Amino acid sequence: MRRTVSYALKWAVVITALGGVLLGFFTARADGYSHWSKRTLYFTTQSNIWIGVTMLFLALQPFIPLGEKDLKRLYFLKYIFTASIVMTGAVFCFLLAPFAGDYPAWTPFSFCVHLFSPLLSIADFFADETPIDFKKNAFLWTALPPVLYFAFASVLSLLGVDFGRGEPYPYFFVYLRSPAGLFGFSSQFPFFMGSLYWYALLSLVLLTIGKLLLWGKTRCQRALSTAKA
């Protein structure tokens, strides 16, 4: 039963993540973007593509059998990208959407990529009976995708690249040329804190998410082993 549920959840993530990204391309103009391709510059789109493609490979695994090592690597990627998509949803729901102002935060696209995709990914992470045997410090790897993205976005921002809405940054907390800069503080909303502090805070949140996922998965595996014994 759990295997069937997990299989269905994987396809649900594929639909909400990859389908949501595709929907975002079609609605980009209506949402105020100069071109649909600009949405690929955002962590939201990238993290949904990562988890969507990973889930697609896992959903097709009964038809395309993988070796034990390849399967273990795929599940490790699933763990890392689950943390990333949870971070995507948390940042949007608690940091971006409440201060969106006149910008339409909760669109069909947003529900798919910021709410449904993260929640379904969490559900599958714990419903999947496939045992994982990661090292205790494996949660540190969850910080890699956002760190790489912050570096990518910062470089584009410094080069003055337009992220599609007339602004040289995707999120206010990665704008190195904001009134607060990298290390400072400002009274100008929303740039009240330097990007370095945002990096530190969000990295701490992400590592906490990664640790909790690993801890919860380990507890679930122990409970299942005890129940089967």
Statement: residue 12 has pLDDT above 80: yes
Which residues, including other chains, have CB under 8 Å from residue 64's CB and lie 6 or more apart? 57
The pair of three-digit structure tokens given for residue 201, joined into one six-digit string: 């805070």
3-state secondary structure of 43: helix
Could you tell me the two tokens for 153? Answer: 């976005």
The number of CA neighbours under 13 Å toward the Cβ of 14 is: 14
Segment 130-163, tens digit of pLDDT: 877 788 789 999 999 988 999 999 999 989 999 9
d(Cα 93, Cα 72) in Å, to the nearest integer? 32
Confidence of residue 123 (pLDDT cuts 50, 70, 90): very high
Residue 70: what pLDDT? 86
Computed over every residue of the chain, the mean pLDDT equals 89
pLDDT digits (tens, 9 = 90+) for 52-93: 999 999 999 878 877 888 888 999 999 999 999 999 999 888
pLDDT at 227 over 70: no
Per-residue confidence (pLDDT) for residue 101, from 0 to 100? 66
**Environment class of residue 223 by beta-carbon count within 10 Å: exposed (0-12), middle (13-18) or buried (19+)?**
exposed
